[in-house]
Every structure is written in C-alpha cells, then in structure tokens.
C-alpha cells in the first residue's frame, strides 16, 4: 500500500484500506498521516467521534512538535471512508471497528515506532476504551488518552432507561431501521468558523444536524456503554479528560463556548471511575465537548 495526498488536508497523506465485506457490501477505512520534520520513534493514533472525521490540522502539528508522528483514522462509514452504498455509522457491534484500528496500528508498527499513544474522542473514546480492554496483551499501543469519552447517553431518565432499551431491543430484529439523533446542533455552531466558532472543516462530513442512525448502531453503542459501566480493565496508563460542566439550551448563547454541549460530564466521570487500572481523570474548566478545540 502506498500513501497518496490527503483529499481533505494539504500536506497530509492517506491510505484507504479495504476491509472484508459486511452486510452492506464493500468496506474501507482511511489512515491519515503527518510525519515529524525530524526522525520520530513515537506515534499517536487519533480516533474521531460521532458525526465526525479527522480535520484537526493544528492538533496533528502540535503532536509533531512534541516528537510524535501523527496518524488519524476515519473509521468505516464515516468521513473519507463512507461509501455511497453505506448507511452513515451503520455497525451492529462496536467490535467491527477493531479491524480498522488493527490496520492502522499495523501500519504504525511497520513504520518503526517504539511507543504508540491511542487518542479517542467521544465515540472514539468509547471504542478506544473497549479496544484497549479487549487487547490487553497487545504490544502495539502503550497508553490511552480519552477526550470526553461517550460513556452514556445524555438523555433524561425516561428516554435513557426506557426509550433507549426499547430501540436496543428492536435493533436486534430491525437493524436497518433509522432514526434521527438527539444531538444539539448548537454544538456545531460553537465550532464552525462560518457560525460562532473558529474551526474550518468540511460541513458535508461533519454536519450540524447529522444523518439518521440505524437501530443497530444505537444497540451497539448501548452495549458498549454497559460494558464500561460494569467496569472494564485496561493495563496501560489511561488519561480521561472532560469539561467541568455540561451546557443545554435551544437557542444560541455564549454558554455554548463554555462547556460540553453533547455529553453529561457527570456520567463521563462516574463511568471513568469504574475503569480498573492506572487511570487519571482530569476536569478541564470551560472546555468544549472536544476539548482539543476549546
């Protein structure tokens, strides 16, 4: 496999990897790379969140400046990896993403690194948590950083404890039925440069109002939540970071620049505390949901 110029970011390279076909047909994932100017033996692999893809050039350059070759992964059915015949995010088990992570880590290992940091944001933080727990004997990663990991749905009691379990149950029988997501579109406005934010990205790949998701995706996420909430074990050092507060509202105000508009930060901390291992949890004041973009 050979790198080609990235389709989204100037000065970055990418490889698209064909994975085994699934229930929708052809599957690919995309590895994006930005190397240090000098020889580096350390690397980071970044895994994006829901309704997302890798676009944070500034984050990559900061890692480069700290002596890390930077790699990012657009998971199957997201961003650069979403194919015309696929439903957005459509997986039936979060372990389907493991093949994508394995492929990226194999590339990083083949390119001669002796220390690898996994870095997952939001849904990527959930998937990364489960992956590190399920691959405790791997020598291809050495630490894990979770940026606002998605450990529970930010919903009221009725929807979280009754509505989501109903959809989860139905997802086992009607996996391809789709439903709208309950995500606050004002979060996107807090990020995007043409609204109230300072970040430039492709709004077709990261929409303020994301496409519907399948019942099977909701089921897969909920199963992942339950595993974390029961207490997974990770045997590499783990750093979990989250904002000091969640923010809510239907209309724009400056508070959306001052907290997490996607997750309930209490859920994040409470469930992070259940992880067994060498774990440190940091609360960051005034941080957005994606703290790197704060």
Return the pLDDT at 167: 95
Class of domain 4-293: alpha beta
- For residue 286, how many other CB atoms are within 10 A of its CB? 12
pLDDT tier at 294 (50, 70, 90 boundaries)? confident
Cα–Cα distance, 53 to 251 (Å, whole number): 26
| φ, ψ of residue 177 in degrees (nearest 5) | -65, 140
Return the pLDDT at 181: 87
Q: How far is CA 258 from CA 66, 71, 191, 291, 293, in A?
A: 27, 29, 12, 11, 12
pLDDT tier at 23 (50, 70, 90 boundaries)? very high
pLDDT tier at 1 (50, 70, 90 boundaries)? confident
Return the pLDDT at 150: 98
3-state secondary structure of 60: helix
Cα–Cα distance, 93 to 261 (Å, whole number): 26
In the chain, the largest separation of any two C-alpha atoms, in whole Å, equals 54
Q: Which helix (H) or strand (E) holds 22?
A: strand 13-22
Overall pTM > 0.95: yes
Q: Per-residue pLDDT tens for 111-151? A: 999 999 999 999 999 999 999 999 999 999 999 999 999 99
Q: Per-residue pLDDT tens for 169-191? A: 999 999 999 999 878 889 999 99
What is the distance in angstroms between the CA of the first residue and the CA of the last residue of the chain? 36
């Amino acid at each position: 496999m050979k790198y080609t110029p990235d389709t989204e970011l100037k000065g970055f390279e990418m490889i698209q990897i064909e994975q085994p076909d699934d229930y929708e047909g052809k599957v690919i994932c995309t590895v994006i790379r930005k190397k240090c100017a000098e020889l580096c033996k350390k690397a980071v692999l970044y895994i994006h969140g829901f309704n997302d893809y890798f676009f944070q050039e500034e984050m990559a350059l900061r890692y480069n400046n700290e002596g890390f070759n930077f790699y990012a992964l657009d998971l199957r059915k997201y961003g650069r990896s979403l194919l015309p015949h696929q439903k957005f995010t459509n997986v039936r088990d979060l372990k389907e993403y493991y093949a994508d992570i394995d492929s990226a880590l194999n590339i990083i290992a083949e390119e001669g690194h002796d220390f690898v940091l996994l870095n997952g944001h939001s849904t990527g933080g959930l998937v990364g948590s489960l992956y590190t727990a399920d691959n405790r004997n791997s020598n291809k990663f050495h630490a894990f950083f979770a940026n606002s990991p998605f450990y529970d749905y930010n919903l009221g009691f009725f929807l979280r404890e009754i509505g989501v379990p109903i959809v989860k149950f139905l997802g086992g029988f009607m996996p391809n039925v789709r439903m709208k997501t309950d995500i606050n579109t004002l979060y996107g406005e807090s990020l995007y440069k043409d609204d109230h934010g300072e970040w430039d990205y492709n709004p077709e790949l990261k929409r303020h109002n994301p496409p519907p998701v399948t019942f099977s995706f909701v089921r897969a996420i909920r199963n992942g939540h339950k595993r974390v909430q029961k207490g997974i074990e990770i045997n590499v050092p783990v750093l979990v970071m989250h904002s000091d507060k969640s923010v809510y509202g239907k209309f724009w105000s400056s508070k959306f620049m001052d907290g997490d508009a996607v997750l309930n930060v209490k859920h994040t901390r409470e469930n992070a505390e259940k992880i067994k291992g060498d774990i440190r949890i940091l609360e960051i004041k005034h941080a957005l949901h994606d703290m790197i973009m704060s």
